[in-house]
Amino acid sequence: MNLHNTKIRHHGHRWYRRIYRQQKDTTDTADTTLIHSGSSVGSLKGNTTIVAGGTYTQTGSTVAAHQGNVDVHAKAVNISAAQNHYANEHKHTFEQKGITVAVNVPVVNAVQGAIGTAQAAGKIGQSKNDRVNAMAAANAAWDGYRSAGALSDIAKDPKAALSQDVSVSITYGQQKNTQQTQVQGHQAQASQVIGGGTVNISATGGGKDSDINIIGADIAGKQGTHLQADNQVNLLAAGQEHSEHSQNKSTGFNAGVAVSYGQSGMAFGFTAGGNYGKGHGNGDETTWRHSQVGDAGSRTTIHSGGATNIKGAQAIGKGVGIDAAELNIESLQNTAQYNSKQQNISGQITVGYGASGSANYSQSKMNADYAAVSQQSGILAGDDGYQINIKGHTDLKGGLITSTAQAEAEGKNRFSTGTLSHSDIANHAEYKGESFGIGGSATVSGSSLGQGSSNSTPGLMTAGQSNSAGKTIGYGSDSGSQSSTTKSGVNTQNIIITDEAGQKN
């Protein structure tokens, strides 16, 4: 328990206030982190060859041959990013409660004020700074003038001075505030297959189970990158998520009494009040760690007996060749949502000779939403262009098939597909916030409270009574939005539709 002694100067008098207060401030934090340490397999000068009779799986690791070739052969191949996880929980609580006792005795205060002024005057000149000494002298002179005036009033009319009101007040209050925050998410730690020569990955011998799945990984050979699967080749992005959730709550109350006695009689008053507040904030975000297959300085080829799916990935090369049953290219959006709401209410009432009361309420809320493509998925070829042969259907959702202008000008681009469909992706960012507040107060008062008044009825207000009331209302809002479009596109005129009947349908 902390004990505080405070003096407050107010209109020539001195109030003596003693506060008995107990405080409790606690903070709890918990952190959890899981970070993968990736493995590395490879050769500095020779080749690296991996052969698996079943499924080859590589997660958050690196396979390399810095001056040679990398060959990976299995019935199925899964090369993906590892997920590093993190979580944090934080809770802060503040509690306070205490009693305040205040006493005001004008005659004693005047005498003590004069003593205090004399003591302060004795310290003038102790500072090494002339400006500080000058300010101290001015302050002492002003205090002396006020103290002398108070003592002069006592000397002129001791009886009146002794009859000035003496007041005592006792107030008890409590307050508790709590805030909690939870943060968690995961981030992708990419896998890599890199070679100074060529990189060759194949999934064969398993029929429909022979897929190559590249998820949040980079595959590149400086002399060429080649993928072959009996079924599908899937070039995909690894998802990353982050979320923050917070809550807060506050409650408090106070209650007290005040008594004064003097020439005007005896007065008694009661005061009480309280407050309550709560709120929350929630934010969620999803981003993507894209895959990239190929090296911009060499040729990249993909052969699949089933579909080749490029979603959240890019196939790049000086030249790119794709031969598949179907081709699906889709760009992925990063997304984020946020919402918050806060409410607070408080009130205070005082009853004595008359009454007064006030109340306030406020509320605010915020909503935001975001979705946009940060990196377009597709096939990006250099000066050697792209040669794409799709037996069935090709679908582009914000997907891109493009090359340098030189490749197109030299007629190196060729895109043949049974049927073709395309669609664009709408991106947006929007927010809306609004706040509302209302406050009100009312007062009913009279001229005296009976015992010190000879011409008024005890306990009743006289003709001097007054009533007043007021209120304030406030409202504000703000909003905004932006939008864009991620368009699908093929940069060549050399497009061949082999199933014209199917295309018409």
Q: Are 360 and 439 contacting, i.e. CB atoms less than 8 angstroms apart?
A: yes
This prediction's pTM: 0.76
Name every residue whose Cβ is closer than 8 Å to that of residue 481 and which is 6 or more positions away in sequence. Answer: 428, 429, 430, 431
| Residue-level pLDDT at 113 | 44
Of the pLDDT bands very low, low, confident and very high (cuts 50, 70, 90), residue 352 is confident
Please provide residue 481's backbone torsions phi and psi, each rounded to the nearest 5 degrees. -155, 150
Q: For 139-171, what is each residue's pLDDT tens digit?
A: 444 444 444 444 455 445 444 444 455 778 889
pLDDT confidence bin for 486, thresholds 50/70/90: very high
Given this model, what pLDDT does residue 17 score?
60
Q: Scanning the structure block, which residue is given the tokens 């995961």? A: 186
- Cα–Cα distance list, 349 to 128, 134, 267, 450, 494 (Å): 51, 46, 17, 22, 83
Q: What is the mean pLDDT of residues 397-404?
A: 98
Q: Report, as an integer, the average pLDDT of 475-488.
A: 96
Lowest average pLDDT, out of 11-20, 117-126, 332-341, goes to 117-126
Check pLDDT > 80 for residue 186: yes
Mean pLDDT of the chain: 84
* Average pLDDT rounded to a whole number, residues 358-381: 96
Cβ neighbour number for residue 74 with a 10 Å cutoff:
22
Find the mean pLDDT for residues 410-428: 98
pLDDT at 455 over 90: no
* 3 state SS of 118: helix
Is pLDDT of 490 > 80? yes
Q: How many CA atoms lie within 13 A of 290 on its CB side?
A: 20
Q: What are phi and psi of 145, to 5 degrees?
A: -65, -45
Reported as a single tens digit per residue, the pLDDT across 267-302 is 678 989 999 999 999 999 999 999 999 999 999 999
**Predicted local distance difference test score (pLDDT) of residue 64:** 97
Which contiguous run of DSSP H or E holds residue 109?
helix 106-122
**Residue that the structure tokens 């302050």 belong to:** 139
Per-residue pLDDT reduced to its tens digit, 50-71:
999 999 999 999 999 999 999 9
Interhelix angle 106-122/130-156, nearest 10 degrees: 150
Render pLDDT for 216-265 as a digit per residue (tens, 0 to 9): 999 999 999 999 999 999 999 999 999 999 999 999 999 999 776 666 56
Write down the residue that tokens 């809550």 correspond to: 247
Share of the chain above pLDDT 90, in %: 69
Q: What is the pLDDT of residues 101-143, one digit of tens each?
A: 877 655 444 444 444 444 444 544 454 455 444 444 444 444 4
Q: What is the pLDDT of residue 330?
A: 98
